[in-house]
Structure 1
Amino acid sequence: MKPYISPEESKTFKEKPIEIQELINTALYILDCFGIPLEATPRRLERTAIAFLASSNIKKIADIKNAKDLNSGYSLKTREIITFVNEHFNETISPGSYDDIRRKDLKLLTIAEVVLQSSPNSATNDSTRGYSLNPTYGELVRSFGSPNWEQTVAERLKDIEPLSQKLKRERTISKVDVTLPSGGHLSCSIGEHNDLQKAIIEEFLPRYGHGAEVLYVGDTSDKYLYLEKEKLEQLRFFEISHEELPDVIAYSKKKNWLYLIEAVHSSGPINEIRLLQLQKLTKDCTADIVYITAFLNRQKFRQFMTEIAWETEVWTADNPDHLVHFNGDKFLGPYSK
């Protein structure tokens, strides 16, 4: 069995005991066989795995053969899942993050119906709703390790289209072609967020990038659509697997400027909290940082205008020849403290 996460890829994973690391990788192997797409950051994979284990009442490898499912009457609410993983998997997840369990950690598992809701007809934010392993998958989990287990899974699930295949098919239906400053090409999934990223790369950077090279682009369906990992590491950029990557990163060798660009469609401008967060994460970076929030149009910009942090820049795709400078001692460029 291949390791899906290695200690070098995730700080939280590295800090866990070897037996927990093995259990998490085993859980990811099982989910892979169930057709769950595992194209995510190491930390996101880790969180998905431990949410799956909590929903099955699995604390160690030996518990797999006794995994509980919804038919056993077992289920955990999102707050209880946090308590479970903090206690058994060396986590320190805040009790206030319970909504992230539903929206992020359990998202793929519930869409694929590997994990079921104890009261599916309740409101989305119903705090009494629990989550538990689907009995169909529970039987397969309990038989894990038996001879020809993979073939048994394939046979038992032959009439269920894997979520990974569904998503792959949807992603290939329509794409947005993006041309990089270097002349290379990317294909992003359809959507206003990626339309904006296309404009950033094709319109903003040629105007204001001082010959900048794109080092990272995250697609809405592929976190690492484009990544120049070694070049970012040379600049002592923060851990690539981090959840807080901006949407587009570009580097101007001529200026030694690193552009951190947020493409805002429905949320996520560089506000004061986000700025402090990025400043902390890039404190060891050898390049000077330029912070940009990009919008498709001025109407969208107006919705977020009061949130924009000082000493950052704003660009709108409908007025590509203009920038909005939020204070500072200069126009476009990094600000020193």
Structure 2
Amino acid sequence: MTITDVPSLVLIAERLPQIFPEGTEHRNYLIREMAAKTIYVMFYAGAIEGTDRWIRPSQVTDMTDEQAQLTDIEYREAWVKMMLSNKKKKPENPWYAANSREPVRDETIRTGLIPLQAVVIRQGIPTTSSKPTYALQKDFSELFSPVLHGDKLDSAISSWQQKYLSKAAITRLKLMKDYGSEDSEFVQINFPDGSIRKLEPGPSSLLSKAVIEEFAPRFLKKPKVLWLSESGNKVVAQDEVLAKALGLQIDPSRALPDIILVDLGDDLSGLEMLVIFTEVVATDGPINRQRKEILTNLATEAGFDSKHLAFLTAFIDRSSRPFKKSISELAWGSYAWFSTEPDYIIDLREYDESAKLTSLK
């Protein structure tokens, strides 16, 4: 098959963040310069699914600015032939050092592009072989057509995402998009008891909604919302009857968390009851060691045993800046949860005899 045209490196670099938006797993590997140059070299070599043309990582590292500008077919064919021969010469001013082959192969291609089906692997070639084995997936390559722009480009990208990304990845991207939108006049939250509360629009409100509507029913047996506030310490909901029954004094002037959940459990004796102090972190403010101590004192002063307390920090996504910024501060003996991956939770477990790793099996 004939070799195809090469889109500009600038165009490839511009479109990668659109194709792989916030929330895409390993996005840093997918939108950086090395990814754009890897894709450029695949186009340059004509390595697109169905052409039986392939590249190896050394072709990316050995490419030069001078060679990349020679896009006529005869120059490209000659370069490919030379690069795959035993007589290839070491290029002057290559894009990357020779030891950068590993990041190209392991990070950009294997960890980034292949799991998202943007790159295909040549079958029947041993992993130890030096033969070229990577090519662009055909539908993915078409997203870089220069004739696509505006609504047509958006539609093509959306169609590719729906067809090739996993259901979990699609859900994650949709939620990340929702968190960036403030079009609604308010955020409506449906409480476990059927009541409804409204919050001002914004990422924190959407995250609070996710904690109450998604986290609580997944991880708690019989959830109740004891307390909900929003920015500026505005009290949105306070269950005074339940608080009084529990003996928990809720004083808005104290350093209360964004949300206090209560799991009444299945045991009417109260032995399974759990109070979950929750901070939603759209920007800052996780449950760190000091915060955990303050909240623990608040509960123990009300007569609660520490075994009936849990501490949760809710984030939008593992790839978000707030989580990356906060991870080193999160308190041991607390949990981290991500609204874009609602079925999973991180347990920052403290050591005790029952916490042996064998107990996780």
Relative to the length of structure 2, the TM-score reads 0.42
Relative to the length of structure 1, the TM-score reads 0.45
Larger Rg: 2
